[in-house]
Amino acid sequence: MNEAADTSPAQDSAPFRHLHPLSIILKSLSMIGRNIVAVAVLHFSLFDQNIAYTMLAALALVALVTGVTTLIWSRFTYQVTEREIRIKSGLLNRNNRSIPFDRIQDVSLEQKLPHRLLRLATVALETGSGGGEDGQLEALTRSDAEELRDTIRDYKAGRNVDSRRSIEEHATEEAPPLFAMDNRRIFIAGLFNFSFVLLAILGALAQNLDFLLPGDFFDPRNWFNALSNQKIIDGLSFWMRVAGVLGAIFSLIIVGFVSGIIRTFIREYGFRLDRVDSGQAGFRRRRGLFTLTDMVMPIHRVQAAIIQTGPVRQRYGWYHLKFKSLAGDASGETDHSAAPCATGPEIDTILGQCNISPPAEDVEFHPVNPALWWRRAILICFASAALAAVTASAVHPAFSTLLLLAIPVSFILFLNWRQHQYALSDGQLVVRSGWWRRRLTVLPLSKIQTVDVGQTPWDHPLDLATIIIGIAGGSAIAPLTIRAIGLDRASDLRRQLLSRTDSRPTSG
Amino acid sequence: MAKHASNSSSSDPATAPDSVLSPRYNQGLTPLHPPHENLLRTQMILRALILLILASVAETLIYMHHEMPAGLVLVPAAVIAFLTVAILPHRIYRRWGYDMGDAQLRVLRGYLWRTDTIVPFNRIQHIDVAQGPLQRFFGLSTLIVHTAGTHNSIVTLPGLATADAEEMRDTIKGHIRQDMI
């Protein structure tokens, strides 16, 4: 399978190189940082706050970590030949990996804050074989890292090594970016990124630092005692209590917005998307406040475009453009974010750069069978009726109002059904889904890998089917699906979907 | 749902003899190699044995500790075991079907949970022909094709005669092109 594995022995002459020595310090520091909590815990527990023992333990930790890291560093070498990169690693289990340039999907440079101060960068090579990065070179000098990326890119473009120009001199100075976000735009993106992660972080901090708090801080009985002793709440008037509750809700919402904005700033600061044409045409994305990432994704690897929005966001005309590519984005996202907060025309411009055309205004979308919502709504009604009946008879008659829950849920199901539509135009399949998290997937038919037509037991009486389309890349948990369409229509649609894959190969 | 399935079975022996399957079960696609039904039956027998062992353990435990009529667990388990061995293999077998088109492979399986997959040949990255110990006994092989997709990237087609599976592999191999994505 790996036709590039038969590298000629002449290429083996390229030297084996180590990572930058400073990486030892960086890695040791991060490992010590992770273990310092353990030492602190020891200081308070086993060592009985004896500072001498603690210092000794800390010294031992530092020596151990530094020693091991140095050993690992000395055993980690890489070699860049003309057609592949080889990485030898491992202390006891030696691992010898070779990654042919042909198989590398995209190359990204990442600079965490300490790396930036020392002008180092981490190179991550993705081959799209699933399961994270396949080759990671931590801590090369920034120039080495860029050179490596350029070597790979030039190889893939089939160009001579001598004639290459650095991506830097080519792209950054000339040509305005394809898409960039200023601080105002990032702020807007943050507003829609409402999240309670800050609360979670505070909670986690409190958990980890609980040795600083009084011993029974987390014992709820203390709090109950404190509350009932005070009797303050009883003294308050009704409206004061309502105001208190409202205030609590309001402050929660504020926390949600603020943490969303902070998170967005940390991730998207200085967002800039360029088109690079030297070598293979590709998108280059740079972003990050503390951790700077610099990723280049070849345009022909783009499998599909996803345009996400929400009911409020769409009202104000903001969309999030993502690309499905064979390799997932770093930081656990399955799709490559190409424009986190862009207007419709801006998205059209970006899409115009790759071979995906935004769906035209007059494209007629086909709705799916309404059974999609009423089947589930009936189920929800029965479930909530059963729940209401049981709780009302067992606990309190007031619980029968649980039945009312079925109304909003059914309504949301109805709205979701109304959003779920598909269209076939221009050799592209366009699928729209979700009412709250609106997703518009644009998939060129030539990128389809497999098509499934599935039926579940409750599909048989209505003769409905679900179409699942296999695309290279993206998440395996949530593949592109068209739900609840008639079996005949499904077979028909499948024939049309596969018409492009039969006749000719894709643009390779 | 189960009633629906049993209806079709009652009419089955009358309309179609065992060797010639009625096309309505698998939409007229190529059926699997007939020994596959025996393989399924063997697998079901093994599973039924495990079920019976577990049931008899449970039965003894209950019988020792409670005043219970005998056979409360064992009898239903035996019924289930008999049904799975006697009825299921044929029903599973006849719902399988595949079709080697000019440029695509179609695999149909299941009834209640039916899946109908089409893989274009030029999307296939690599192919396996696999054979387990039981399959070897029956002279069967499984054809496994891998695509680059993340959903359903591995499409398996069990129950092929080994020679057929190898022939299909060679046919498909001619369509594989390098670096499709």
Q: If you measure CA to CA, which chain A residue comes closest to B178? A: A508
Cβ separation A1–B126 shorter than 8 A:
yes
Across the range B138-154, mean pLDDT stands at: 85
- Mean per-residue pLDDT over chain A, rounded: 80
Cβ separation B147–A456 shorter than 8 A:
no
CA pair distance A480, A420, nearest whole angstrom: 12
Query: What DSSP line would sit under A409-463, residue for residue?
Result: HHHHHHHHHHH-EEEEETTEEEEEE-SSSEEEEEEEGGGEEEEEEEE-GGGTTTT
Give me the total of CB pairs closer than 8 Å, taking one residue from chain A and one from chain B: 105
Q: How far is A168 from chain B (nearest CA, A)?
A: 27
What is the reported pLDDT for A378? 92
Where are the alpha helices (H) located in A171-237, listed in sequence order? 183-191, 197-208, 220-230, 232-235
* Chain A partners within 8 Å of B114 (Cβ): 454-455
Cβ separation B147–A508 shorter than 8 A:
no
**A84 strand-pairing partners:** A100
Cβ separation A468–B151 shorter than 8 A:
yes
Cβ separation B151–A469 shorter than 8 A:
yes
For tokens 């025309």, what's the residue?
A345
CATH of B97-173, one of 3.40.190.10, 3.30.70.20, 2.30.29.210, 1.10.3720.10: 2.30.29.210
* Chain A partners within 8 Å of B180 (Cβ): 505-506, 508
Q: Which of A155, A446, A450 to mutate to test the interface with B (most CBs of B within 10 A)?
A: A450
User: Does B86 score more than 50 pLDDT?
Assistant: yes
Across the range B69-79, mean pLDDT stands at: 85
Strand order of the sheet with strand A77-80? A17-18, A77-80, A84-89, A95-100
pLDDT < 50 positions in chain A: 1-11, 131-132, 160-172, 503-508
CA pair distance A142, A164, nearest whole angstrom: 18
Amino acid at A223: W
What is the reported pLDDT for B150? 73
Q: How far is A130 from chain B (nearest CA, A)?
A: 9
Confidence of residue B15 (pLDDT cuts 50, 70, 90): very low
* Chain B partners within 8 Å of A453 (Cβ): 115-117
Residue from the list B103, B115, B151 with its beta carbon closest to the beta carbon of A470:
B151
CA pair distance A389, A402, nearest whole angstrom: 9
* Chain B partners within 8 Å of A479 (Cβ): 150-152
- Lookup: tokens for A354: 């790759």
* Chain A partners within 8 Å of B148 (Cβ): 128, 326, 449, 472
The residues of B whose Cβ lies within 8 A of any Cβ of A are 1, 4, 102-104, 112-120, 122-123, 125-126, 147-153, 155, 177-181
How far is CA A402 from each of CA A199, A338, A410, A485, A490, rounded to the nearest angstrom?
30, 43, 14, 32, 38
Cβ separation A476–B151 shorter than 8 A:
yes
Give me Rg for the CA atoms of chain B: 20
Cβ separation B152–A452 shorter than 8 A:
yes
- Lookup: tokens for A431: 């699928």
Across the range B28-55, mean pLDDT stands at: 92
CA pair distance B93, B90, nearest whole angstrom: 5
Cβ separation B112–A476 shorter than 8 A:
no
Cβ separation B150–A471 shorter than 8 A:
yes
Q: Which of B1, B104, B150 to mutate to test the interface with A (most CBs of A within 10 A)?
A: B150
Residue from the list B102, B118, B151 with its beta carbon closest to the beta carbon of A479:
B151
Q: If you measure CA to CA, which chain A residue comes closest to B126? A: A1
Confidence of residue B142 (pLDDT cuts 50, 70, 90): very high
Q: If you measure CA to CA, which chain B residue comes closest to A327? A: B150
The residues of A whose Cβ lies within 8 A of any Cβ of B are 1, 3, 102, 128, 130, 301, 303, 326, 448-457, 460, 468-476, 479-480, 494, 498, 501-502, 505-506, 508
Task: Give the H/E segment covering residue B76.
Answer: helix B74-86
**With contact defined as beta carbons under 8 Å apart, do A220 and A164 qualify?**
no
Q: If you measure CA to CA, which chain A residue comes closest to B2? A: A457
Q: A426 — phi, psi (to 5°)?
A: 60, 30
Task: Give the H/E segment covering residue A324.
Answer: strand A319-324
The one-character DSSP state at A473 is: S
Q: If you measure CA to CA, which chain A residue comes closest to B152? A: A470
Cβ separation B149–A472 shorter than 8 A:
yes
Domain-wise residue ranges, chain B: 31-95, 97-173
Q: If you measure CA to CA, which chain A residue comes closest to B117? A: A452
Residue from the list A449, A457, A480 with its beta carbon closest to the beta carbon of B147:
A449
Using DSSP bridges, classify how beta strands B124-130 and B140-147 pair: parallel, antiparallel or unpaired. Answer: antiparallel
* Chain B partners within 8 Å of A450 (Cβ): 117-120, 123, 147, 149, 151-153, 155
Model pLDDT for residues B149-172, shown as the tens digit of each residue: 777 788 899 999 999 999 999 888
Q: How far is B70 from chain A (nearest CA, A)?
A: 35
* Chain B partners within 8 Å of A326 (Cβ): 148, 181
Model pLDDT for residues A6-15, shown as the tens digit of each residue: 444 444 567 8
Cβ separation A474–B112 shorter than 8 A:
no
What is the reported pLDDT for B4? 39
Amino acid at A164: R
The one-character DSSP state at A472 is: B
